[in-house]
Structure 1
């Protein structure tokens, strides 16, 4: 039997535990409201995306870290960022104007080439965006059942909270751009991010598969996702239409030049199309690990990188040739500078390579 003294000690312990929990709850700050911490180790921390802002390089990564380099990736400085959410991708249509996206539905904007950032949107607002947008359409077209379904989706997102990962971002210019993410989340802006329009109804993605990447080849805009999803923007239809896919596994990226496009993903799969996605030819990588990053170098060659650290170069036919490198590391993003320097970002931070 428990004595009165032991009972009192147990009660006191429970009270202290509850008080500790209340103190922790009171001191909790959402990562969407907590500025990223400045750290000398940020350049060696996990980074997930990199882009050119004119001659500057800007990289984004975990805990809200954003770094910029003005010497081709040799030295980096940390930017002022208002959130600590993990950041997944970054896009600069001009040297000054840029956008970054990440977990918790966060969208950040810079107007000074990546030195300072402000928050334009986060996951706490996205559900309401859907409800308001599709609610207006439902009022205008009450017989159209898809609008009611979209409203319900927005209500669900609102109830679930801020956890709505945005996985990629692409801007055509200072005004028009897209962010894409999990469960077919697509938002478009035509005023530089001041307002965002849901585009879920404008994609051929009935299963609401995750959208992993969006990119332009110069003459077409593509989205790739899980389960072989391939989408292409159709200007006349004003929607992303589905393309026949050569592979049923996930694609992690898309890259190209006018007249051709490459998509890459799971288990070393890479495909090329030279007819706007109407047909695809497989490129032999010789790998069974996923391709996770790609860039076009100063010579116009495609360079692709695997999650195991291998580097491949497009040989101009159906082959991808492996390029040996010292201390290979997994790559999540890649960019080539005009002078031929290759900058990779990944789990070990940022590093610059001289590739011949």
Structure 2
């Protein structure tokens, strides 16, 4: 039975901070720089984010236009609810928003004093969203990002850490606040599966929520290392990937998990689902794995340049991926 402790919420509104931000530089080689996430809007328009505040747009996956962006911090993730409304997050707890399909961006939050990166962002609709990151960084908005409130989800700690925090709060409020900001694991990825959210993170963290992240239930620990992506396959099973080539597959919504042989030892960073029932997993050292049996087995297609494939989307019968050397197009015929 799910056991949820009271979530420590701070309802203080986080102010929009524009100080110390600089517009990103329009760079001719931006499409070949370190890029960290990619999304496709309505199966047509592509949006990519990466280092130095770079955001790139494309309508064909070949020609890329760099957007004007009001920050130079590294951007780690991007998400659109529809063809107009999107958000990007990154270092310094930065959150940007766009209302024109990514052509222009505005700062909703920029907090250099936080000194932590946000690593993913997800919206239920154009008003309700969450942004997650390192050391349990977690922000929520219910007004499209005009205001963001921080949350501390201590139910995702080990029981002994929960007890320690509760005791520390009674003894030393200042020490409690300091520990609270660093004791939670990194939250690497959050995905929506209907009304359920799944969270993947550091120290083997896998959790689910049925109330858009207000409360979380940890799933059984299956591996002590970090996970970087989780998704439901085309046939309805769960797949999670992480460090040292680890892949786990669940036929029953998170329990039990079956270890899948990847035949690689590099970090696995992203799961890409095709529209022809194939599953691809991207990773470091040019790792590209393909499954044609819903994730039960995988075949290796190692990329010759050995560069990390960080994230990707299925677009017009091919993979458009981002890497530490920019945008890569990968054709794998069936």
User: Is TM more than 0.5 here?
Assistant: yes
Number of residue pairs matched by the alignment = 289
Which runs of 5 or more structure 1 residues have no equivalent in the other structure? 1-29, 125-160
Residues 119 and 188, structure 2, Cα contact 8 Å, conserved in 1: yes
Question: Out of 115, 140, 145, which is 1:188 matched to?
Answer: 140
Q: What CA distance in whole angstroms lies between the structure 2 residues aligned with 1:78 and 1:49?
A: 15
Matches for 1:298-313 after TM superposition, within 5 Å: 298-313=275-290
Residues 232 and 238, structure 2, Cα contact 8 Å, conserved in 1: yes
- 1:40/1:198 CA distance change after superposition, 3 Å: same
Deviation of 1:175 after TM superposition, in Å, equals 1.4
- 1:209-242 Cα offsets, whole Å, 9 max, x none, are 1111111233521111111011111339940111
Give TM-score, length-normalised by structure 2. 0.81
Is 2:193 the counterpart of 1:217? yes
Residues 123 and 129, structure 2, Cα contact 8 Å, conserved in 1: yes
Per the alignment, residue 111 of structure 2 pairs with 123
- 1:336/1:97 CA distance change after superposition, 3 Å: same
Residues 154 and 184, structure 2, Cα contact 8 Å, conserved in 1: no
Deviation of 1:257 after TM superposition, in Å, equals 4.2
Deviation of 1:312 after TM superposition, in Å, equals 0.5
Question: Out of 204, 216, 237, which is 1:260 matched to?
Answer: 237
Q: Which moved more, 1:198-207 or 1:98-107?
A: 198-207
Per the alignment, residue 94 of structure 1 pairs with 82
Residues 195 and 210, structure 2, Cα contact 8 Å, conserved in 1: no
Deviation of 1:85 after TM superposition, in Å, equals 0.3
Question: Aligned Cα RMSD in Å?
Answer: 2.0
Is 2:203 the counterpart of 1:251? no
Matches for 1:45-64 after TM superposition, within 5 Å: 45-54=33-42, 55-64=44-53
Per the alignment, in what secondary structure is the counterpart of residue 303 of structure 1? strand
- 1:82-107 Cα offsets, whole Å, 9 max, x none, are 00000001111111111100000100
Q: What CA distance in whole angstroms lies between the structure 1 residues aligned with 2:302 and 2:184?
A: 39
Residues 195 and 212, structure 2, Cα contact 8 Å, conserved in 1: no
Residues 218 and 257, structure 1, Cα contact 8 Å, conserved in 2: no
Is 2:63 the counterpart of 1:75? yes
Larger radius of gyration: 1
Which runs of 5 or more structure 2 residues have no equivalent in the other structure? 1-17, 163-182
Q: Which has the higher helix share?
A: 1
Q: What CA distance in whole angstroms lies between the structure 2 residues aligned with 1:301 and 1:173?
A: 28
Matches for 1:291-302 after TM superposition, within 5 Å: 291-302=268-279
Per the alignment, in what secondary structure is the counterpart of residue 245 of structure 1? coil
Q: What CA distance in whole angstroms lies between the structure 1 residues aligned with 2:210 and 2:269?
A: 26
Q: What CA distance in whole angstroms lies between the structure 2 residues aligned with 1:238 and 1:83?
A: 30
Higher relative contact order (CA 8 A, sep 6+): 2
Give TM-score, length-normalised by structure 1. 0.77
- 1:279-338 Cα offsets, whole Å, 9 max, x none, are 21111100111101221112132210120112111232521111354545211111111x
Q: What CA distance in whole angstroms lies between the structure 2 residues aligned with 1:108 and 1:184?
A: 20
Question: Out of 46, 55, 60, which is 1:66 matched to?
Answer: 55
